[in-house]
Chain A
């Protein structure tokens, strides 16, 4: 595979909900090991874009390519296979409430990848170890803190060996004390070269991790560039203004 073929690329995605356009033609590409960060005001379409990128919400128009192959949304089997290769992390975790942490990680290995129960549990334990939760495997989601739940959710996605990870505001539902542990896991993933697209308001992640920042507003990417380009002091960009306000909020705390 030539190096310049993006791992994941989406072209001209549009989506309306009951006549209201949410995405008005969004295109982006993710190269191997690249981290893109989506920022922008709520309602700008970040979540919908990520959900469309996993076909959890069917886009009205547009194409998605994974490793240079177009994914045909009308073929259900292709969509299921595609989702196995693209991990997704949600704002509110979406752990399976009836399963323990370790079974949350193992169930897709067993039911989708058809790995034996024993091997699935070994793999699940390994993934839980990576997010620092090897001793919490027997607990149910209701018994875990928000930060622990999100780390289990990350372990669950990673167990499927995804080529790309889509993260939809992974720390937004967490209180400040728990955000750090999730950010540490995301940083570790970045260091390992995981290809990611991440919607977040965490200024530290935006500044330090992003190879490119995409500023979304009213269903369009209105600005894009490296943190160096967009976040230099006194830059008149929308991104800089937005991040200034995030900074102000932090200073107030």
Chain B
């Protein structure tokens, strides 16, 4: 079956955009998780000033629109002599925003571990750090998994904001074609399908991890 020239161009553009999207999403997800774990742990276990700093970070990045954050990173920071390429402005913005949300899930999971788990470990001679590493984190990870997975799925979709800072990914490529041919409905429907597939793949991977890490007593199965 031969596709019409419009669809040929659309599909090749969207595939190009898809690769850029994936290049945005993967490091943003990983960076977001790392930042989230660090900030979340600090918000629970940190010394007061560090805790306040991490709370402040989460409050700012959860409290302002991502578009505003991206504009400041890409258009605002050059005034201070800090220049990002469109790609890096987007990745840094996504990481910081996602990390703030992830920190909230990590924090909630850490706080949900009962005091008795600490007592059990400390009474055997574990130090505070050993308790956190060997007892608390393995449990908190399982509690945080659902929330963090949800955030990853959000991130896949808000990666479409990268085109605002001129990093042309899936949505950006599609918008260009749509404007050129003035066929918005079809183009955005196809873009929607691309995101649906991305999210479905992510959901499947998350489900796999969930099953693999499943332990009786942590969630229903």
Residues of A within 8 A of B (CB): 51, 54, 56, 76, 80-81, 83-84, 87-88, 90, 92-98, 107-108, 111-112, 140-143, 153, 156-157, 160
Contact = CB atoms under 8 A, between A and B. Distances in A.
B123 A142 contact: no
Interface in B118-170: 119-127, 130, 134-135, 138-139, 142
Nearest to B125: A84
Contacts of B123: 54, 56, 83, 87-88, 90, 94, 157
B81 interface: no
B134 to A, nearest CB: 6
Given A81-B125, A93-B120, A143-B217, 8 more contacts: A84-B124, A94-B117, A96-B117, A96-B121, A108-B126, A112-B124, A140-B216, A153-B120
21 contacts: A56-B122, A76-B127, A80-B127, A83-B122, A88-B119, A90-B116, A94-B116, A94-B119, A94-B123, A95-B120, A97-B139, A97-B215, A98-B135, A98-B139, A98-B142, A98-B215, A112-B124, A112-B126, A140-B217, A142-B217, A160-B124
B181 interface: no
A160 B134 CA distance: 17
A204 to B, nearest CB: 26
A92 B216 CA distance: 18
Contacts of B119: 51, 56, 88, 90, 94
A92 B122 CA distance: 15
Nearest to A104: B120
A53 B216 CA distance: 33
B138 to A, nearest CB: 5
Contacts of B216: 140, 142-143
A133 to B, nearest CB: 16
Nearest to A109: B124
B interface SS class: helix
Nearest to A82: B125
Interface string B180-221: 000000000000000000000000000000000001111000
Q: How big is the B interface, by class? A: 20 to 34
Given A84-B124, A88-B123, A160-B124, A111 B117 contact: no
A76 B128 CA distance: 10
A86 to B, nearest CB: 8
Given A90-B119, A157-B124, A97 B217 contact: yes
A156 B120 CA distance: 10
A140 B122 CA distance: 20
Given A90-B119, A94-B119, A96-B117, A108 B215 contact: no
Nearest first, the 7 closest Cβ-Cβ pairs linking A and B are A142-B217, A94-B120, A84-B125, A88-B123, A94-B116, A108-B124, A142-B216
B120 A112 contact: no
Contacts of A153: 120
Given A90-B116, A90-B119, A94-B117, A83 B124 contact: yes
A94 B117 CA distance: 6
A80 B126 contact: yes
A81 B126 CA distance: 9
